[in-house]
Structure 1
Amino acid sequence: MSLAHHPVRRFGTVPGLARLALVAPAVLAVLTGCSAAADTAAPASRVPVSRAASSGAPEVKRPAAPAKVAIPSIGISGSLMELGLNADKTVEVPPAEKGMTAGWYVGGSVPGEAGAAVIIGHNDTRFGKAVFHDLKKIAKGADITVTNDRGESAHFTVTDTESVSKSSFPTEKVYGPTEDHALRLITCDGDFDAEGHPVNNLIVYATLD
């Protein structure tokens, strides 16, 4: 699949996290301005087990959804919500009033499976510090644990971090195809622009142990 970087657009007024603009519906997202969430649209690739069974196809056990994320080295621990698409084909972020809850983007991979899994969390909101406020303190080699709704845990090791301008977000690097069992954590970073929005995104890259 050909992946290209979408021109950056800014949204909203909530400081602390960027909204995501898609290159193609339900396929690829790029962090841009700050906003609260809207309605979810499920990716077309997610087919309920019951539908597969009724069509005569072998029943396939659904992947367990991630439910919690923890980074012991910097004191981060919290539940995860699912993030889909807004009506305008942008990816949701957690609502500002749930700033201490990060979200898993359902259009990416399930954490622990092949491909890039993406977890998005606020740095700050109008309500104060949020779940990824201290993410900038993370170091290479740190453990990130994602626990699913069956109680099974996947451990990832941080391989790299980078703070990038929202105008040059590395879309393909973050969301593009990979054979690795990869995890990306994303939040806002850097100085504020004239409207009070952070100008950068902090990206944490990790791979499954």
Structure 2
Amino acid sequence: MRFSSFLLLVLAAITIPTIEGVRTQPTPLAPNTAGIVEEPEDAPTFLIGDPVFEEKLPDPLDNPSRLIIPSIKLDTNVQEVGITSNGEMDVPNGNTNNVGWYRYGTIPGDLGSAVMDAHVYAAFAKLRYVKVDDDIYVVNAKGEKLHFRVIDSRVYALDELPLQQIFNDQDGRHLNFITCARKFIRSLNTYSHRLVVYTELVD
């Protein structure tokens, strides 16, 4: 794991389109377009503080390069993202069909919680349709394919995101996905909720 600690400050503002993704309790995520206005091109994600690095850096060939979610017909490239100047998790730039992997966190397949995000109006447009037990695959730079399975899907209000659970759960080998949901709030330049899909590595 590359990132050993977080300042769990949150303003969570991931710019992701209302996609078809998995939703479980506390609030099932159903398409809700009422009151949604056109979102900005790049909305911030989360305030998570400064990254803390371990002495030994991991092999870059272990980094994810491709994400495949068969149930929603998603097969796309993975782009490394870091932290913006405002201390927020960044989102993919350039090709909005890419998925962003938080490079200061866990590598998919390692102990801990790897995190990926994407724009809700692009790569993660259908994330809300993902269901528990759906299979997800990550291909790393070595060409190795890792198999994950969805274990939960939840929608959280912006101020109720469980950052510790999303970014720093050490009880297993997890890969979590996050994107925007519900209503866009123009005054805050972000959405009112976040969809989080939790997965774990299949042995």
By the TM > 0.5 criterion, same fold? yes
Cα distance per residue 1:22-70 (max 9 Å; x no partner) = 1x3115xxxxxxxxxxxxxxxx337458xxxxxxxxxxx5561100001
Asked which structure has the greater CA Rg, the reply is 1
CA-atom RMSD in angstroms: 2.7
How far apart in 1 are the matches of 2:200 and 2:131?
Answer: 14
How far apart in 1 are the matches of 2:14 and 2:166?
Answer: 21
State the AA in 2 paired with 1:108.
Answer: G
Answer whether contact 2:13 2:180 (CA < 8 A) is retained: no
**Moved segments of 4+, more than 4 Å:** 1-4, 9-13, 15-18, 46-49
Equivalent residue, structure 2, for 1:14: 40
Equivalent residue, structure 1, for 2:34: none
Structure 1 counterpart of 2:190, from 180, 191, 197: 197
How far apart in 2 are the matches of 1:175 and 1:131?
Answer: 21
TM-score, length of structure 2 as denominator length? 0.76
How far apart in 2 are the matches of 1:178 and 1:206?
Answer: 13
How far apart in 1 are the matches of 2:125 and 2:42?
Answer: 9
TM-score, length of structure 1 as denominator length? 0.74
Cα distance, 1:89 vs. partner? 2.8
Structure 2 counterpart of 1:157, from 149, 174, 185: 149
Equivalent residue, structure 1, for 2:35: none
In structure 1, list runs of 5 or more residues that go unmatched: 28-43, 50-60, 125-129
Residues 1:182 and 1:87: Cα distance change in structure 2 (over 3 Å): same
In structure 2, list runs of 5 or more residues that go unmatched: 16-38
Q: Which has the higher contact order (CA 8 A, sep 6+)?
A: 2
Q: Percent identity?
A: 25
Structure 1 counterpart of 2:50, from 20, 25, 28: 25
Answer whether contact 2:61 2:142 (CA < 8 A) is retained: no
Cα distance, 1:86 vs. partner? 2.5
Cα distance, 1:200 vs. partner? 0.8
